A = this chain, B = another copy of it.
Amino acid sequence: MSELEILERLRARARPFPRSGVRLGIGDDCAIFAARKGEELLITTDLLLEGVHFERGSHPPATLGRKALARALSDIAAMGGQARLCLVSLAAPRWAGRGFIDGFFRGLLGLASRYKVTLAGGDLTQSEALACDVVVCGAVERGGALTRSGARAGDRIYVSGVLGGSALGLRTRRGAAWRRHAAPEPRLELGALLRRLGATAAIDLSDGLALDLHRLAKASGVAASVHLPLPVFPGASFEEVLHGGEDYELLFTVRPGVVVPEAHGGVPLTCIGAMRRGRPGALELFGRPLAPVGWDPFRKRDR
């Protein structure tokens, strides 16, 4: 297969969704996109690298393609946006057969179609190890995006879902925890709900509760205190709950009076603490300091 043949096949499977705003998709130097009136754009990009984010042979190609997109969609969810289009740069590994690229895009396009995200372009090449970058462009009402920086002292801290499952899955490679790790669900509907609820800040849990809560608190200029029971994935260790990455749940804050439903679309929403005055980014867990430690590619090598 040549690059041209692969692109032709993809193009046939990637027609723009109606009302996506995609004016020109695969096949030119750039994608062309028009937001609707009163909207602004959210743009995010996520690398997925063999040897860094996954090991060769650990995921079937369709799972890998789906995950590459899910990670970027999670960033759109955290800001309360609607995902509209994606661009996918893929360096297919020479170790994989020709079915690999087909499988990768089948998984990716399956998830894309669920959220009506148009595959609008990208880049294809080959290399020794798989390298993939997914760009997602979303839209949000002008001025309405949820950011990390809006939390105030007194705000309640919530998380969606249960935590630590992805790290547990990475350790045990089995069952529901492994599926959590391999096939995370971007919380796009929840992000939209959080905007309607008037959440003050949000972030997705990509690098662990402690590190991501630290980031949110620091960006907001406040400290955070976790003093309520955490929602734990069955079997996950406390370390995995606090510092395990890739849960892709949403961590968010609301003003004290706001009524948050107990669950949304089957995903529990749990209050775990409150923001408070203090050194920006400082964390407390049941009254004791909590280190903002999580997955840092420049410090650790454990996945």
Contact = CB atoms under 8 A, between A and B. Distances in A.
A214 B13 CA distance: 23
A30 B47 contact: no
Given A75-B29, A78-B29, A297-B3, A45 B43 contact: no
Nearest to A128: B51
Chain A interface residue bracket vs B: 35 or more
Given A1-B298, A219-B27, A34 B43 contact: no
Contacts of A81: 30
A126 interface: yes
Nearest to A5: B298
A1 B299 CA distance: 8
A230 interface: no
Contacts of A24: 145, 147
Contact of A30 (B138, B296, B297): B138
B47 A133 contact: yes
A43 B137 contact: yes
A152 B296 CA distance: 53
Interface string A28-47: 11111111000011111111
Contacts of A27: 148, 219
B127 A52 contact: yes
Given A125-B297, A127-B51, A135-B135, A29 B45 contact: no
A198 B217 CA distance: 51
A232 interface: no
Contacts of A1: 298
Given A3-B297, A40-B34, A298-B3, A45 B79 contact: no
A299 B123 CA distance: 15
A291 interface: no
B23 A42 contact: no
B41 A127 contact: no
A272 interface: no
A149 interface: yes
Contacts of A78: 29-30
Contacts of A33: 40-41, 43
Given A3-B297, A131-B131, A133-B89, A44 B32 contact: no
A65 B6 CA distance: 29
A91 B47 contact: yes
Contact of A148 (B28, B53, B219): B28
A204 interface: yes
- Shortest Cβ-Cβ A-B pairs, 4 listed: A133-B133, A30-B42, A125-B297, A29-B75
